[in-house]
Amino acid sequence: MPGLDMTVQPIADTVSNKRQGDHVVELIGNTPLIDLSPLVPSPRVQLLAKAEYCNPGGSVKDRPALAMVREALDTGRLAPGGRVLDATSGNTGIAYAMLGAAMGFGVTLCLPANASPERKRLLRAYDAELILTDPLDGSDGAIREAKRLARERSELVYLDQYGNPENWRAHYETTGPEIWRQTSGQVTHFVTGLGTSGTFMGVSRYLVEQSNSIRTVSIQPDSPIHGLEGMKHMESAIVPAIYDPQQAHEDRAISTEAAYSMVKRLARDYGLLVGISAAANVSAALEVAADLDEGVVVTILCDDAMKYLSESFWEEV
């Protein structure tokens, strides 16, 4: 389809109040769209994926992490040189740890013990304090432990990514407007998975305000027991306070196997090393695209595959 602007022009960022210079904060946002339309059978349907792994922390979570830290600093909850606390499956924690190293505050993270070795090494490289929780309890166990620590350690500022409205606002104020401009307002469908739900809530709210004909599709794992790291099966999990199921025109399920297969397909056939949740998003977006006669479907490449290279599925035939 003609008229799409695959670049992003610099904009005033009300979430981050970016400063001029080479500071790491200046690199967050304004990520490119990648055209994945060759995956779609119909020539009248375009599939575009926002390459959030281009953020300096390597994931979409840089945006909300910065917004939540900024809010805590601006309101005085976080003093210069203080220490933040949160539960994470990995990417938000990496973003906090990166920002803490760059901005001069400490970071304590509750993380399931079965998080990939690469994620744990990255967090330790940034000098974050890790509290590893029972892997069988998943992200919910990390949330419960973070809440316990927040009660017991008064020096910790609990940012609570699952309940902090700055999470979805970061995407409402940056990711959504970027997608709208990059597609020249031609986006017809927005598809992404649910974890904290911040990306889906913020982007979908913004896009629907621009055009009420845009359809929003949320994605969840198809089972309570799954391998889609960072994504939540809402029926069986602690539901994030910021999540509103009414925001989605449609909710779809995706299997772990489909995501693993798509990770390898994108790497081996298209030269794109993306993470598991990113591949789940692409798989689901392809399903949406297959149902269309024409349209522009946009999804999110949450992170790249570098944090998942130790996973055994790479070796499976």
Catalytic residue status for 277: yes
Any idea what the Cα angle at residue 67 is, between residues 129 and 167, rounded to 5°? 90
Q: Is the dihedral of CA 42, 184, 249, 54 positive or negative?
A: positive
Task: Compute the distance between CA of residue 284 and CA of residue 311 in angstroms, rounded to an integer.
Answer: 22
Task: Compute the distance between CA of residue 179 and CA of residue 285 in angstroms, rounded to an integer.
Answer: 15
Task: Compute the distance between CA of residue 231 and CA of residue 280 in angstroms, rounded to an integer.
Answer: 10
Give the tokens for residue 206: 């913004």
Lateral strand order in the sheet of 295-301: 33-35, 45-51, 295-301, 189-193, 215-221, 250-254
Of these residues, 116, 139, 218, 277, which one is catalytic? 277
Helix, strand, coil percentages (3-state) for the chain, rounded to 5, are 45, 20, 40
Of these residues, 61, 120, 232, 307, which one is catalytic? 61
Compute CA 65 distance to the chain's CA centroid, rounded to the nearest angstrom. 10
Catalytic residue status for 307: no
Active site amino acids: 61, 277
